[in-house]
């Protein structure tokens, strides 16, 4: 874990937190990055509680990108190349997909993917033993694994899980909005 800490900032790492390689953590301006117990950080992950440089509104002079805490709950699995930005808060037992960028709140026992990361599945639990090292090789259900019972919970907060069609409609709307903005800027 490679850490860069500004004044009055802290990083707390719980018990049994693991990383495979290259995990960058930074915090500044009194903010904190907190990892709960049994967090599994894959590889090439970043936890960035600040943007590195200040950005201001030219009209008011007001800072628009203050540093914020990052709170990773217990038994969270961060997929490879996934990133948490300032203000991220992830509930216990959740999974962040490969290459995702988390910018806000993800409830417990969910899978969240994409940029910005959105919940695609709730009421899930995951287990640590690596699939290529443990028998039996195929696990049709949880009867063949040792369950970490305390993390087998239902997602507590009401969370809207978008269907594929809903996500496609949202993406089409976003593209239309960007096209319209480009068109208006040109004319």
Ligand X SMILES: CC(C)(COP(=O)(O)OP(=O)(O)OC[C@H]1O[C@@H](n2cnc3c(N)ncnc32)[C@H](O)[C@@H]1OP(=O)(O)O)[C@@H](O)C(=O)NCCC(=O)NCCS
**Contact residues for ligand X, defined by CB under 6 A:** 42, 79-80, 95, 97-100, 111, 113-114, 120-121, 164, 167
Q: Which is nearer to ligand X, 11 or 41 (CB)?
A: 41
Q: How far is CA 15 from CA 4, 12, 28, in A?
A: 21, 10, 23
DSSP code at position 44: E
Q: Which is nearer to ligand X, 5 or 101 (CB)?
A: 101
Least Å from the CB of residue 20 to ligand X: 7
Q: Which is nearer to ligand X, 42 or 76 (CB)?
A: 42
Least Å from the CB of residue 118 to ligand X: 9
Least Å from the CB of residue 21 to ligand X: 11
User: Where does residue 106 rank: exposed (0-12), middle (13-18), buried (19+ CB within 10 A)?
Assistant: buried
Least Å from the CB of residue 113 to ligand X: 4
Least Å from the CB of residue 124 to ligand X: 7
Q: Which is nearer to ligand X, 5 or 13 (CB)?
A: 13
Q: Which is nearer to ligand X, 98 or 177 (CB)?
A: 98
Half-sphere exposure of 92 (CA within 13 A, CB side): 13
Bridge partner list, 2: 24
Contact 71, 90 (CB under 8 A): yes
Going by C-alpha positions, the residue among 122, 124, 76, 128 that lies closest to residue 102 is 76
């Amino acid at each position: 874990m490679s850490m860069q800490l500004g004044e009055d900032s802290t990083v707390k790492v719980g018990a049994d937190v693991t990383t495979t390689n290259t995990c960058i953590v930074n915090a500044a301006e009194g903010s904190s990055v907190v990892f709960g117990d049994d967090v599994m950080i894959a590889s090439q992950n970043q936890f960035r509680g600040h943007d590195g440089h200040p950005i201001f509104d030219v009209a008011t002079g007001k800072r628009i990108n203050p540093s914020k805490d990052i709170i990773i709950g217990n038994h969270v699995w961060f997929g490879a190349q996934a990133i948490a930005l300032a203000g991220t808060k992830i509930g216990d037992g959740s999974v962040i997909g490969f290459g995702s960028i988390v910018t806000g709140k993800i409830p417990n026992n969910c899978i969240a993917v994409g940029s910005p990361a959105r919940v695609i599945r709730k009421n899930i639990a995951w287990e640590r033993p690596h699939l290529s090292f443990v028998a039996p090789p195929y696990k049709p259900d949880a009867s063949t694994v040792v369950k970490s019972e305390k993390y087998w919970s239902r997602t507590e907060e009401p969370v809207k899980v978008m269907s594929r069609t809903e996500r496609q409609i949202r993406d089409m709307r976003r593209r239309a909005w960007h096209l319209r903005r480009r068109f208006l800027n040109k004319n």
